[in-house]
Amino acid sequence: MRELVDQLLLAHDLGRNVVHCEVVETRGSTPQKPGSVMLVFENGDQAGTLGGGCTEAEVRRQALTQFDSPEPRLFVFTLDDNYGWDDGLICGGRMTFLAQPIRQPGAVDYFRRLQKLLHGGRGGTEAVVIDAEKSGLEAGARYLFDEKGELAASHLAHDVSDAMKERLTDIRERPRPYAQQGIAFIPILPRCRLLIVGAGHVGQAVAALAARVDFDVWVLDDRERYANAERFPTAERVWVDEIGRALASFEPDENTYCLIMTRGHSNDEEALFHLAGKPARYIGLIGSNRKIKLIFEDLEKDGVARESLSKVHAPLGFDIGSQTVPEIAISIVAHLVGHRNRGSAAFPPINVLSPEGGSIPTSVVPADDRSGSGRPSLQTP
């Protein structure tokens, strides 16, 4: 959404007419969920997607008729055997779309405030009126709340009622979209930072994939020939420093994920020494059960609490029989996405200290990711 809002406002500033189309409510099985956005430009170009097929084509067709009107319009489609057969979208669900031309100063101001909220990364909630009769409000009106539940912007909207504020869900719980009393609530989830300690081939592959699924990627390594913008073009920050010194002052928060995947055992141990016990949402260590057991034993001797080590995800990723670096990256990033979207209860830490005993196997990586000591940073169990 962040990139599309940037495109939207840039188009407006350049004098290009554009309609912002968003899925605001769904019921049942649908190809896209609330919060999905498509931009339609006056020349017929588009950016983003609402799920493709007949519904997207129809919303696009309707949007192309709105350039002479500043008013938003709601569209509702039911994906049954009477609609969408040719495109294979017989999902049985229902989708509600809001198409908003960006012409009125009020609409522009709303999206500028939305842009600021998105780039701030703290999250918030959009509330969109989809039923005037049930809500008593104007259909198509929008409210934007920040992460604290305070009104940040509105368009075609009246004063916020206490009842509306009471329906807001805590963004820190990463809620799903919902609708109540004719109002669709679309959570804007906080951005999560992913710190990758180790800029080898696995770190590079994980960084590229994680950026595509909306993590803000930071990379730390003590080797500038590995940690640089050419190898990590999508990273928010590439950090070259001695690992222990850098992590000693690093303060993660509840939206920070940390992956340790350096070139060798000693660097991994040093990194975990500084990260274990810090309030990151997720700390993960790559490697075999044997390597992890040795590191945990060393760190306990150095005074790291066993409770802190028990919260480390090690080894990393899902068991998909990974054999190559891209496959390993997929298994790791899929686990990060699952943890981010479903929470730690669904994805508890598994390591040699847990009842499962760290039973998730990983795979061997190419020799380029191995340390001078001959120990691979990713080993077979």
The span from the CA of 36 to the CA of 273, in Å, is: 41
The span from the CA of 85 to the CA of 196, in Å, is: 45
Task: Compute the average pLDDT of residues 328-336.
Answer: 97
Instruction: Share the mean pLDDT of the chain.
Output: 88
Whole-prediction pTM: 0.81
* The pLDDT of residue 173 is above 80: yes
> Which residue type occupies 11?
A
pLDDT at 125: 97
- Evaluate whether 126 touches 144 at the Cβ level (below 8 Å): yes
Lowest mean pLDDT: which of 156-170, 198-212, 323-337? 156-170
pLDDT at 93: 79
Tokens standing for 180? 């109540």
pLDDT digits (tens, 9 = 90+) for 277-303: 999 999 999 998 999 999 999 999 999
Query: Length of the chain in residues, anyone?
Result: 381
pLDDT digits (tens, 9 = 90+) for 79-138: 765 444 444 445 567 889 999 999 888 999 999 999 999 999 999 999 999 999 999 999
% of the chain at pLDDT higher than 90:
70
The span from the CA of 280 to the CA of 253, in Å, is: 5
Task: Compute the average pLDDT of residues 179-190.
Answer: 94
Task: Compute the average pLDDT of residues 154-159.
Answer: 88
- The helix/strand count (H/E) of the chain reads as 11, 15
pLDDT digits (tens, 9 = 90+) for 196-247: 999 999 999 999 999 999 999 999 999 999 999 999 999 999 999 999 999 9
Lowest mean pLDDT: which of 192-201, 232-241, 266-275, 317-326? 317-326
The span from the CA of 222 to the CA of 277, in Å, is: 23
Domains of the chain: 2-188 (no CATH), 192-369 (3.40.50.720)
Burial class (CB in 10 A: 0-12, 13-18, 19+), 214: middle
Burial class (CB in 10 A: 0-12, 13-18, 19+), 44: exposed
pLDDT at 374: 31
Nearest CA-CA partner of 184 in 133, 121, 135 = 135
Residue 272's Cα: distance from chain center in Å?
Answer: 25
Nearest CA-CA partner of 4 in 125, 106, 119 = 119
pLDDT at 270: 97
pLDDT at 380: 26
User: Could you tell me the pLDDT band of residue 367, with boundaries at 50, 70 and 90?
Assistant: very low
pLDDT at 352: 87
Helices (H), the chain: 2-13, 53-63, 105-120, 132-135, 162-166, 201-212, 243-248, 265-275, 289-301, 306-310, 325-342
pLDDT at 356: 62
* The pLDDT of residue 311 is above 90: yes
